[in-house]
Every structure is written in C-alpha cells, then in structure tokens.
Amino acid sequence: DILMTQSPSSLSASVGDRVTITCRATRDIRMYLNWYQQKPGSGPKVLIYGASTLQSGVPSRFSGRGSATDFTLTISSVQPEDSATYFCQESYSDAHTFGQGTKLEIK
Amino acid sequence: QVQLQESGPGLVKPSQTLSLTCKVSGGSVSSRGFYWTWIRQVPGKGLEWIGHIYYSGKTYYNPALESRVTMEVDTSQNQFSLKLNSVTAADTAVYYCAREFNFSGSGSYPDHWGQGTLVTVSS
C-alpha cells in the first residue's frame, strides 16, 4: 500500500503570506498526484492534478510541484477565502490514497 | 454543467448492506474518458476512495474494501450505484459520488462531486 503523509497537519497564516504544504508518498508515484481544497459542509474541489497542472477556474496563486515521492502545494499570497482543509491524493495505485489533510487557518 | 446527486437510506443496521445511487445530470455516464466514482469521509476525518466504474461496467475497487463492494452503472437511467455489504460502525461516513476524469499522462481526478450523503450504521 502507498501511504500519503502531509505536513503540517495544521497551520495559521496571515493574508498575503506564502504558504507551502508538503505531501510525501511511501513509494514512487511519478506525477500521479492531485490536490484538493475542502471547506466545511462541502465536498472537495480539485485545485491541481498531475502534480502541477492547475484546474480550470482555480486562482493562479495556487501552484503544485514535485514528482516521485515528494510534492508541494504553494499558495503564493494567502487570501481569506483560502481558509480550508487541503488534501493530496495519489492516483497511481489501486487505492487512490488520500493524505490526512492540512487545515489552513487565516489569522 | 455536470451535476451528481446521491440518494439512499441514511441509516443502515450492522451486518446489512449499504446501497446508494448517484443520478447524473448535465452529462452522460456513457461518456468516454470518465470514470464514475465513490469516495467516503468519516465526519471530521480524512477521505477514502472506494472505487470507480467505467460506462462499460469495468470496475476498479480499493483493495481494502474490494471483498465487500459492488458497483454498477445503468446507462438507461444515467446513474450508477454502490453496494457495501456486511457493514459495521466503521462504515459510518459521508458518501460522495463523483465524476473522475482520466487524463493522459498522469492519472485521474474527480472533477465534479455530489453534495454527499451521510450514512450511519447503527442498530
């Protein structure tokens, strides 16, 4: 099984800060990595797919990088509406495993 | 705009079968290049991918749940379904259906989600 570990589990940032969330896979998943944003009471929304491709309609302040086992999601200038939980997910294995989530709070 | 809507019982007894249906509108389950997917989330916890089905009926299940899961697609009704048998309290979760886009190069991702439905397993 592939395990996906995100860090940190939570973080607090001020408007305008640059924020980076890390996701690590226990084995090589090439670029089969997606990032999602979830707000309370709603289903997740895809931000990035294929490790670095921005989903249509997603603000350009979101970006993704990485390959193999190490990936990052960066928000270049955090906005109040970015308060949410962020998940990574691999689509390489049969389990399509999600990370445990990173909760972003805006100060 | 593709929309998905889950339906089914909100309460299931332990050892029984959980059955959910996802009705698709604004798109067709027969579309090539898309899978039809179920994902669940224990309230306040993380997400678990259950599996997906192609319009042809070909299924791919999470190995952790494979022995208990059955998915079907009904192209005439433009919907797909999930059955999870021998449920326990650990299966209590919000169940989402989604359309999963299979793109060339690096995998697939759910690009449209239903609102989710809470299923509680309790006697």
DSSP string, A9-75: SEEEE-TT--EEEEEEESS--TT-EEEEEE-TTS--EEEEETTTEEPTTS-TTEEEEEETTEEEEEE
Contact (CB<8Å) B63/A46: no
Is the per-residue pLDDT at B106 higher than 90?
no
Tell me how far the alpha carbon of residue A94 is from its chain's centroid.
20
The predicted model gives A5-16 an average pLDDT of 97
Is the per-residue pLDDT at B105 higher than 70?
no
Query: How far apart, in whole angstroms, are the C-alpha atoms of residue B1 and residue B78?
Result: 15
B95 close to A (CB below 8 A): no
pLDDT band at A94 (very low <50, low <70, confident <90, very high): very high
Query: How far apart, in whole angstroms, are the C-alpha atoms of residue B45 and residue A102?
Result: 11
Is the per-residue pLDDT at B41 higher than 90?
yes
- Among the partner-chain residues B96, B110, B114, the one whose CB lies closest to the CB of A46 is B110
Q: Are B3 and A43 in contact (CB under 8 A)?
A: no
Lowest-pLDDT range of A4-8, A58-62, B31-35, B65-69:
B31-35
pLDDT band at A16 (very low <50, low <70, confident <90, very high): very high
